[in-house]
Amino acid sequence: MTSKNAIKLFHRFAAKATKRSDIRIYQEFIRILSNLENRELTQSETESIESKLDAVELTGPVKKIVHYRTALRRFERYLHESFSFVTKGYYKKRGIAFGAVLGVVVGTVWLSDFERSIGISLAVSVGTLLGIVVADYLESRAKSSGKLI
């Protein structure tokens, strides 16, 4: 399936959808595919992306939104692994999660002199903040190198 056909398909899905969460999934697909169309990709890269769109089975019998949500995640992972493209917010999701987990560990191990809940909450806050700062840096670096879609 070509990206133009997929964009048309997702526009139709978004027009028929009633839930906001469903519309967001369709719009994210549209945004990613539109950004890929605007890039100057080689013929082999374009064919590879089109074959991946065929593999995630966007058409056929009526699919539930869960199918499209998983298809979006698989497609984003494919773009990251094959072309090193990252979507907007990719690093932030990981930075927040990593910072919070690291904060729990640091709060439990080193800040146990405070009352345990205060030490953990302080460390989680600082860890999450550091995760966001690092994620912003990585996202700006990806944008400047042209890898952000």
Tens digit of each residue's pLDDT (9 = 90 or more) over 6-23 = 999 999 999 998 999 999
Dig out the tokens for 13 from the structure.
């899905």
pLDDT of 61: 67
pTM: 0.80
Give the whole-angstrom CA distance, residue 83 versus residue 33. Answer: 14
| Number of domains making up the chain | 2
Residue 64 has pLDDT above 70, yes or no: yes
Question: In terms of pLDDT, which residue wins out, 114 or 31?
Answer: 31
Q: Does one domain contain both 79 and 94? A: no
Report long-range pairs for 144-147 (Cβ below 8 Å, ≥24 apart). 147/83, 147/84, 147/85, 147/86
What's the domain range around 47? 3-83
Instruction: Name the β-bridge partners of 86.
Output: 148
8 Å CB contact between 53 and 6: yes
- Looking at the chain, the whole-number percentage of residues with pLDDT higher than 90 is 54
Cα 69 versus chain centre, distance: 11
29: confidence class by pLDDT, cuts 50, 70, 90: very high
Q: Does one domain contain both 71 and 120? A: no
